[in-house]
A and B are shown apart, each in its own frame.
Chain A
Amino acid sequence: MLDDLRELYQEVILDHGKSPRNFRDVEDATAHAHGANPLCGDQLVVYLKLDDGKRIEDVSFVGKGCAISVASASMMTELVKGRTVDEAKAMFERFHEMCTGEDNGDDSTLLEDDLEKLNVLSGVRAFPVRVKCATLPWHTLNAAIDGKDEATTEA
């Protein structure tokens, strides 16, 4: 019991949950999207600033959520900043696989360091109802990249 819980609520996650990074809005954002988890009512907004080359110049979020969703959003902003949107999407895909246990083990598209960071949150695998908490920020980022206003975990 405790092992699963410790795996989920690792120090890093608790730290990001309590003091989230990039927890602000981006004034000159080029895109933003709303994310909502209809199950719990949690909401967040992800702001995005892309440069001409489709690189993520700045990214941030605001909102309320559980430790898992806030930590996931916080870590996501750190991970994707400075990356191209295609790289961000590849990370999301990989992260989604990790969280749902559909890990195909193909790490070739991602850097070792990124994988390690993503892996921190993959303890959520043992808590199926909480997977959406971890993936909601990424769904929302995806929506912002695609120019959509809304994302839900049902998507």
Chain B
Amino acid sequence: MSDTAQAMPTANDTAYDVLSYRSDFPILSEQIYDKPLIFLDNAASAQKPQQVIDAVRYVYEHEYANVHRGVHYMSEKATEAYEGARVKVQRFINAAHDHEVIFTRNATEAVNMVAGTYGRRFLEPGDEIIISVMEHHANIVPWQMLRDEKGLVLKAVPVTDDGEFLLEDFKKLLTPRTKLVAITHTSNVLGTITPVAEIARLAHDAGAKVLFDGSQAAVHSVVDVQAIDCDFYVFTGHKLYGPSGVGVLYGKEELLNAMPPYLGGGEMISTVTLAESTWAELPNKFEAGTPMIAQAIGLGAAIDYVSAIGMDRIAAHEQDVLGYATQKLTSIPGLKIFGTAPSKAAVISFSMENIHPHDIATIIDRAGVACRAGHHCAQPLMDRMGVPAMTRASFGLYNTRADADALVEALEFTQEFLG
């Protein structure tokens, strides 16, 4: 993952066959209120290509049984497919080993897992955790809970008015007591891409471990956990065009080995007597109980799908649409964009003078344009930016300049309508 700014449109759109990709997503041909669906709420959850839908269906029709348990044919097939998905994730984020990939329910559970195992075991009263003000609640609340439980100190790196991560302030917050740094790789509200490799290096120099929340970054950019040199990396399947109900915790082998299990039960043990149990090897140690079998396989199919297009090409296409949409939106009087960092992903949050985000979202919805309005699970960031809520348009691999035009038209209508 490059930390440097991606300049304005670099995409060669003739090579990127967006119309053909669009036709892979059945839901994009739905009509809502007799209008074509313009889906710009991808940062909340993305739509699924037929390839993912088929993969999940295929599991249930042809290769379903519980995994790791049976010696029979179906169990072996299902185990193969499930473990195959793990290898796909490993390659996708360039992890050194497939057993460094733990399947979770979502990103939220992955963060909680690190807090509940690494945090509980290795952090002492007075130790410090550093997050940033632009974290999703999923990367705030678990640390607050751990802080309260263990008597820790929780600090937050500020951002500039443009939404840039303040690296200098981060350096100042690092102390010998800093044990963990948990920062988003890409803000779900501002789109800001943080300098992860730099953050990891500084954190390690200070003796701290580092976790990155890649829930948005894994969707919009190429992720290489070894190049970043992070200790933990989390993301969630449903934003990456995969099924809901599956997420990923990546952790360095030695750390995962040192950590106690999260949940106890089947799959995660080596031996159990009534007196005590010993833990299974990675990754099973962290996958207690029957996992999300079909969902994980579906995530594998989603990774195949985006990889076939190329994450770098998806990123370039999205940058083109982002640049175009930003320019168009800027021309609307009274519209203010939050998040103008030079290095940013295809997410645009904005406000309009005298119109509440909920009213905007309701009105543009009737024009077929789906956007999210609210605090986007980032209330500390709303406070920082001085607004209770924002409207957010977030773009995916299938969005086009025409979608941006439809958004702008719907917003102009909103102003007129409420005028």
Chain A residues 14-44 with CB under 8 Å of chain B are 14, 18, 39-43
**Contact bitstring B84-105, A, C-beta under 8 A = 1, else 0:** 0000000000000000000000
CB contacts between A and B, total, < 8 Å: 52
Interface centre among A2, A8, A41, A42 (most CB of B within 10 A): A41
Binds B, one of A48-56, A61-69, A113-121, A138-146: A61-69
Asked if A41 and B362 make an inter-chain contact with CB atoms under 8 angstroms apart, the answer reads no
Find out whether the CB atom of B418 lies under 8 angstroms from the CB atom of A42: no
Decide: B358 and A66 in contact? CB cutoff 8 A.
Answer: yes
> Nearest 8 A-B pairs (CB), nearest first?
A66-B356, A66-B358, A41-B375, A40-B374, A1-B366, A41-B388, A1-B33, A67-B359
Query: Residues 354-366 of chain B: 1 if any A CB is under 8 Å from the residue's CB, otherwise 0?
Result: 1111110011001
Q: List 22 A-B contacts (CB under 8 A).
A: A1-B366, A2-B366, A4-B366, A5-B363, A5-B417, A8-B362, A9-B359, A9-B417, A18-B354, A40-B374, A41-B374, A41-B379, A41-B382, A43-B388, A65-B356, A66-B356, A67-B355, A68-B358, A68-B359, A130-B358, A130-B362, A133-B358
Identity of the chain A residue whose Cβ is nearest the Cβ of B355 in the assembled complex: A67
Interface string of A62-96 (1 = CB under 8 A from B): 00111110000000000000000000000000000
Knowing A5-B366, A5-B417 touch, does A42 contact B359 (C-beta < 8 A)? no
A1 touches B367 (CB 8 A): yes
Report yes or no: B358 in contact with A9, Cβ–Cβ below 8 A: no
Q: How far is the CA of A118 from the CA of B125 in the complex (A)?
A: 56
Closest A residue to B358 by CB, please name it: A66
Complex Cα distance, B356 from A5, in Å, reads: 15
Count of residues in A whose CB is under 8 Å from the partner chain: 21
Residues of chain B within 8 A (CB-CB) of A18 are 354
Q: How far is the CA of A8 from the CA of B418 in the complex (A)?
A: 11
B373 CB-CB contact with A under 8 Å: yes
| Distance of A69 from chain B, by nearest CB (Å) | 8
**CB of B301 within 8 Å of the partner chain:** no
B418 in contact with A67 (CB, 8 Å): yes
B367-386 near A? 1/0 per residue, CB < 8 Å: 10000011100010010000
B131 within 8 A of A: no
A40 touches B375 (CB 8 A): yes
How distant is B409 from chain A, measured CB to nearest CB, in Å?
14
The answer to whether the Cβ of B315 comes within 8 Å of any Cβ in the partner chain is no
Name the distance in Å between A13's Cβ and chain B's nearest Cβ: 10
Residues of B within 8 A of A40 (CB): 357-358, 373-375, 388-389
Among A2, A5, A8, A41, point to the contact of B389 (Cβ < 8 A): A41
Within B203-219, the residues touching A (CB, 8 Å) are none
Besides A9-B363, A40-B374, 8 more A-B contacts (Cβ < 8 Å) are: A1-B366, A40-B357, A40-B373, A41-B379, A41-B382, A64-B388, A67-B359, A133-B358
The distance from the CB of A15 to the nearest CB of chain B, in whole angstroms, is 11
Bound complex: CA A4 to CA B354 (Å): 22
With A14-B418, A43-B388: A67-B356 Cβ-Cβ less than 8 Å: yes
Chain B positions within 8 Å of A133 at CB level: 358
Provide the bound-state CA to CA distance between A42 and B356, in Å.
10
Task: Give the shortest distance, in Å, between B413 (CB) and chain A (any CB).
Answer: 10
Do residues A9 and B418 form an inter-chain contact, with CB atoms below 8 A?
Answer: yes
- Distance of A1 from chain B, by nearest CB (Å): 5
- Name which residue of chain B comes closest to A67, CB basis: B359
Tell me if B34 counts as interface (CB < 8 A to partner A). Answer: yes
Question: A64 — which chain B residues lie within 8 A by C-beta?
Answer: 388
Complex: how many Å from CA A1 to CA B362?
Answer: 11
Q: A64-B388, A133-B358 are in contact. Are A39 and B374 (CB under 8 A)?
A: yes
Smallest CB–CB gap between A53 and chain B, Å?
A: 38
- Give, as a whole number of angstroms, the nearest-CB distance from A130 to chain B: 6
Residue of B nearest to A40 (CB): B374
Chain B residues lying within 8 Å of A67, measured Cβ to Cβ, are 355-356, 359, 418
